[in-house]
Amino acid sequence: LDEIDLAPGVPWTITEALGDELTEPHLSGASYGGARAGVVSYHGHGGRKDEAKIDAERFFRAVDRAVLEHHSRPSGLPLMVAALSENHHLFLQISHNPFVMADGPLINPDAIPIEELREAAWAVVEPQYQARLAARAEEFALAQSRGLGSSDLQEVAEAAAAGRVATVLLESGRQIPGHIDGSTGRIEAADLNHPEVDDLLDDLAELVEKMGGEVLVVPPERMPGETGLAATYRY
């Protein structure tokens, strides 16, 4: 888990997002996180609590719009929200970001080390990841039995160049020296010790993704077969 820099225009704090529009009850009675936390609290009574919650909603909408525009749409990656329970629920209610995941760690991410945050995030993702791996492995076995799957590197490289690969499973940590010609799928062998040599599996992953296919990195113990790859074809 690596921290990234937010794009300009993505607010870090509720004050930065709302500025002079921040309500007086919020300023005097409720609190928000540290200089970069943006952790909103809207505890209180009556009107003060209502005003603080309105501010929180406006802040979350500003963050949601900015993250969608500057990060989610350009990357296409899933977005997991780590926040205290009340903030997590409210953010998901107002979010219009189709990349936001429904589940996330119900914690203040600024209150724990990044390694603990990584572990908390993985605890949410792992069951989904394992289920996805199992499903893709079953799909590969069925496809292979029907002639629509292969674990032969040359066959898969040619299929990838033709845009036929729907999904490819690649063994984590496996390296095969060489280069794939993206236009033909032809493999050029090489010495992995050479400082400028490519890794065939990296080339394959890039080619499959370029053609709109799915790439999954699989732990060695979960990998079908012994070649380091397993591809399911579209046709």
In a domain, 9, yes or no: no
Of 111, 139, 167, the last residue of a domain is 111
Together in a domain, 90 and 34: yes
Together in a domain, 204 and 158: yes
Together in a domain, 101 and 21: yes
In a domain, 137, yes or no: yes
In a domain, 1, yes or no: no
Together in a domain, 204 and 177: yes
Together in a domain, 43 and 80: yes
In a domain, 117, yes or no: no
Together in a domain, 212 and 130: yes
The C-alpha atoms of residue 130 and residue 141 are separated, in whole angstroms, by 17
Together in a domain, 137 and 226: yes
Q: What is the reported pLDDT for 160?
A: 97
Alpha-carbon dihedral of residues 215, 169, 203, 74, nearest 10 degrees? 10
In a 3-state reduction of DSSP, which class is residue 119? Answer: helix
Together in a domain, 39 and 87: yes
Q: What is the reported pLDDT for 48?
A: 59
Its domain, for residue 142, covers: 126-233
Together in a domain, 87 and 134: no
Separation in Å, CA 151 to CA 48, 154, 173: 63, 9, 17
In a domain, 208, yes or no: yes
Please state the domain count of the chain: 2
Using one digit for the tens of pLDDT, what is the confidence trace for 1-13? 777 888 988 988 8
In a domain, 82, yes or no: yes
Q: What is the reported pLDDT for 44?
A: 53
- Where residue 145 sits, what CATH number does that domain have? 3.30.1330.30
Q: What is the reported pLDDT for 51?
A: 76
Together in a domain, 22 and 107: yes
| pLDDT surpassing 50 at residue 113 | yes
pTM: 0.68
Using one digit for the tens of pLDDT, what is the confidence trace for 156-198? 999 999 999 999 999 999 999 989 999 999 998 877 666 677 8
Q: What is the reported pLDDT for 205?
A: 97
Together in a domain, 107 and 163: no
In a domain, 67, yes or no: yes
Give the type of residue at 15. Answer: T
| pLDDT surpassing 50 at residue 77 | yes
122 pLDDT tier (thresholds 50, 70, 90)? very high
214 pLDDT tier (thresholds 50, 70, 90)? very high
Burial (Cβ within 10 Å: 0-12, 13-18, ≥19) of residue 153: buried
In a domain, 152, yes or no: yes
47 pLDDT tier (thresholds 50, 70, 90)? low
Please, are residues 47 and 25 in contact by the beta-carbon 8 Å criterion?
yes
Of 111, 144, 170, the last residue of a domain is 111
Together in a domain, 99 and 132: no
The C-alpha atoms of residue 166 and residue 136 are separated, in whole angstroms, by 11
